[in-house]
Chain A
Amino acid sequence: MTIDIVMPQLGESVTEGTISRWLKKPGDEVEEYEPICEVETDKVNTEIPSLYNGKMGEILAQEGQTVAVGEIICKMEVESETVSQAVESDKPISKTQERNEADTSMKHRYSPAVLRLAQENQIDLTKLSGSGKGGRITRKDVLHAVENKSAVSIPAKNVTAPVEKRKVKETPPLEILVEDKIVPVSSIRRTIAERMVKSKTEIPHAWTMMEADVSGLVALRNKYKNDFAANGIPLTFMPFFIKATVDTLREFPYVNSVWAEDKIVLKKDINISVAIAANDALYVPVIHQADEKNIFGIARSLQHLIHKTRNGNLGIADTQGGTFTVNNTGSFGSIASQPIINQPQVAILSFESIVKKPVVIDDMIAIRNRMNLCLSLDHRVLDGLTAGQFLARVKERLESYQVDTAL
């Protein structure tokens, strides 16, 4: 009988492969496990074995052709009883790592990848025991710790908040004691200061807050967290917040606009600026065309921007073109904030800490995960009504996430 041979799945994140060479021609005898072709994905050229004894049939995917996983690449003639064997699907077996309890000389040598991973997931490396040589902490150790996070996570602490202290009108002459430490103002700090003052003095800021029930979202995120981590992408709540914001911005073009004195420009693209704190400074790199990305895409872009920010590699293009800013103030424990608008944008949205609270549902008291959404708006462009409707829709979207929502 004739059977179809399909493009195999060559890795978890691999969706397609390119036929680099056929090793068998139609009519050739093929033994079980003998390679029939080579497939290239990224930088790997892999021999694809036949799962059957038989004879090569028609070739449907030509050399150089890129084929999606699961699509037919060729036909094969096989004896009927051999086909009943199911396709192998061996699970990855994690290598057991040798543990060297005595030698911990390398424990405090961290690779950059390990440091980054720990930083992103707020893992305290000093609390981990390393399985690498000399007790060195490896990437796998950190990933493992991320899965069992609570034990080793760093308590949220003094991260630079985007909220500048208000200046007192008349500053009395500054008294500097010998014991006081003087820190020169860096150029990035000066830029931040100037922009904050300009925004706060030019824009009539108005502020509004709503509380959302994110119990479903919490369950959903916990469900997918490990899947994402397995692909090297930490799944925080941020991608969900950004997705809900982006989908709502499409409904409210005025919130995705720019004040230009004699006109208001409604921006076509939705480019989300994300406030990221790094090395005592605040950066707002941009996820461009965020409305074209799904949760996975947003998570990836976010991870990429965080890497670049923390390594000081942000390019000019990375920080330009933002049309709306989101701020994850909850990550350092805040439950309410009054963010300053990132000019020339007209609004900024802060997502605060998710807190378990008793709430009344149908006259019963339930324990739910609640979160505050804080919106600062430019009252020249937006009124309370539009801002309120916008925020209510974001809240609605966040509340609509349930554990069974498809990503």
Chain B
Amino acid sequence: MFEVQRLGMVAYQPTWDEQKNIVRSVDEGKIADQLLLLEHPHTVTMGRGSHLSNLLLSTQDYKAKGINVVEIDRGGDVTYHGPGQLVGYPIFYLGDQKHDAHSYLRDIEEALILALSSFGISGERMEKHTGVWVNEEKVAAIGVKFHKARNKKGYITSHGFALNVNTDLRYFSTIVPCGILEYGVTSMSRILGKKVDMDMVMNEVEMAMREIFT
């Protein structure tokens, strides 16, 4: 069973540091698995698989627009975080399971698809493109890191998913999200044509995560 922390709006860098602390505590068995639910201010993150060409503005331009650019250690290419986007960081100990990275991704997708279904949205997977899609537009991005547990067998996860709830999608035009040119991004509010209550989304996501991961 994991515990949920709802952190509200928090800056990227301190949250990332906090994730690393939690990974350590989970590894040492001091605390239970944690699921962090939060929002970030405008931030562009570059995963390990990033190509600089997928950043469409110069560093100065991003700064001028009030967007932080951070280079980080998750898998995947460039992505954008910002207000109205629900970010989830599951810090889970994947102990005795075979460290099958991809089945973990599929499980996160499944949880998000389940949560979206509560709002009448049919999320889908797209072959070769991790994430959750609605009509060939990405509504949720996923990128994770598997930390080798120091004190036991297996892995501990960090980073996670970003679900566009009421995200201002114009910010995505400053990057090539995940390096994928041919498909667009969307949000729950765009699909439903109205603003969506973030607390309700957090409730559904939490429930769906519990269903898939416990």
Footprint of B on A, CB under 8 Å? 10-14, 18, 20-21, 33-35, 38, 40-49, 88, 90-93, 95, 98, 109, 111-113, 132-133, 136, 138-139, 232, 300, 304, 307, 311, 313
Interface residues of B in 21-59 (CB under 8 A from A): 47-49
Interface residues of B in 146-194 (CB under 8 A from A): 146-148, 150, 153, 155
Q: 4 closest A-B pairs (Cβ-Cβ)?
A: A20-B48, A44-B101, A45-B75, A46-B146
Contact of A111 among B75, B76, B98, B114 (CB under 8 A): B114
Contact B210 A232 (CB under 8 A): no
Contact A12 B148 (CB under 8 A): no
Q: Chain B contacts of A46 at CB under 8 A?
A: 75, 99, 101, 145-146, 155
A47 nearest CB neighbor, chain B only: B148
CA distance in complex: A44, B143 (Å): 6
Q: Chain A contacts of B124 at CB under 8 A?
A: 112, 307, 311
Chain A nearest CB from B20 CB (Å) reads 13
Q: Chain A contacts of B207 at CB under 8 A?
A: 133
Task: Answer yes or no: B122 CB below 8 A from chain A CBs.
Answer: yes
CA distance in complex: A351, B47 (Å): 48
CA distance in complex: A20, B71 (Å): 13
CA distance in complex: A265, B125 (Å): 38
Q: Chain A contacts of B147 at CB under 8 A?
A: 35, 47
Q: Chain B contacts of A111 at CB under 8 A?
A: 110, 113-114, 117
Contact A10 B123 (CB under 8 A): no
Contact B101 A136 (CB under 8 A): no
| Given A111-B117, A304-B127, CB of A42 within 8 Å of CB of B102 | yes
Chain A nearest CB from B143 CB (Å) reads 5
Q: Chain B contacts of A21 at CB under 8 A?
A: 48, 73
**What are 26 A-B residue pairs whose CB atoms fall within 8 Å in the complex?**
A11-B99, A11-B100, A11-B102, A12-B102, A12-B103, A14-B101, A14-B102, A20-B48, A21-B48, A21-B73, A40-B75, A41-B101, A42-B101, A42-B105, A43-B142, A45-B48, A45-B145, A46-B99, A47-B148, A91-B98, A93-B96, A109-B117, A111-B110, A133-B207, A311-B124, A313-B136
Contact A45 B144 (CB under 8 A): yes
Q: Chain B contacts of A14 at CB under 8 A?
A: 101-102
Task: Answer yes or no: B130 CB below 8 A from chain A CBs.
Answer: yes
CA distance in complex: A250, B119 (Å): 49
> Binding site of B, secondary structure by majority: helix, strand, loop or mixed?
mixed
Q: Chain B contacts of A88 at CB under 8 A?
A: 153
Task: Answer yes or no: B81 CB below 8 A from chain A CBs.
Answer: no
Q: Chain A contacts of B73 at CB under 8 A?
A: 21, 38, 45
Task: Answer yes or no: B138 CB below 8 A from chain A CBs.
Answer: no
Interface residues of B in 185-214 (CB under 8 A from A): 207, 210-212, 214
Footprint of A on B, CB under 8 Å? 47-49, 73-76, 96-106, 110, 113-114, 117, 122-125, 127, 130-131, 135-136, 142-148, 150, 153, 155, 207, 210-212, 214
CA distance in complex: A307, B113 (Å): 15
Contact B75 A43 (CB under 8 A): yes
Contact A90 B155 (CB under 8 A): no
Contact B105 A43 (CB under 8 A): yes
Chain B nearest CB from A250 CB (Å) reads 26
A138 nearest CB neighbor, chain B only: B211
B131 nearest CB neighbor, chain A only: A43
Contact A11 B114 (CB under 8 A): no
Contact of A138 among B48, B122, B212 (CB under 8 A): B212
Chain B nearest CB from A288 CB (Å) reads 14
Contact A93 B97 (CB under 8 A): yes
Q: Chain B contacts of A42 at CB under 8 A?
A: 75-76, 101-102, 105, 130
Chain A nearest CB from B133 CB (Å) reads 10
Contact B122 A311 (CB under 8 A): yes
| Given A42-B75, A311-B122, CB of A11 within 8 Å of CB of B146 | no
B141 nearest CB neighbor, chain A only: A43
B101 nearest CB neighbor, chain A only: A44
Contact B49 A90 (CB under 8 A): no
B130 nearest CB neighbor, chain A only: A43
Contact A45 B102 (CB under 8 A): no
CA distance in complex: A45, B147 (Å): 9
Q: Chain B contacts of A98 at CB under 8 A?
A: 214
Contact B146 A20 (CB under 8 A): no
| Given A21-B48, A90-B96, CB of A49 within 8 Å of CB of B103 | no
Q: Chain A contacts of B105 at CB under 8 A?
A: 42-44
| Given A112-B117, A313-B135, CB of A139 within 8 Å of CB of B214 | no
CA distance in complex: A350, B2 (Å): 52
Contact A18 B100 (CB under 8 A): no
A48 nearest CB neighbor, chain B only: B148
A112 nearest CB neighbor, chain B only: B122
CA distance in complex: A29, B166 (Å): 49
Contact A41 B122 (CB under 8 A): no
Q: Chain B contacts of A95 at CB under 8 A?
A: 97
CA distance in complex: A45, B156 (Å): 12
Contact A47 B102 (CB under 8 A): no
Q: Chain B contacts of A41 at CB under 8 A?
A: 75, 101-102
Q: Chain B contacts of A90 at CB under 8 A?
A: 96, 98, 153
Q: Chain A contacts of B148 at CB under 8 A?
A: 33-35, 47-49
Chain B nearest CB from A141 CB (Å) reads 11
What 11 additional pairs, Cβ within 8 angstroms, besides A21-B48, A44-B145, A93-B96?
A14-B102, A43-B74, A45-B144, A46-B99, A46-B101, A90-B98, A90-B153, A109-B117, A112-B117, A112-B122, A113-B125
CA distance in complex: A88, B148 (Å): 14
Q: Chain B contacts of A11 at CB under 8 A?
A: 99-103
Q: Chain A contacts of B106 at CB under 8 A?
A: 232
CA distance in complex: A18, B102 (Å): 15
CA distance in complex: A10, B104 (Å): 11
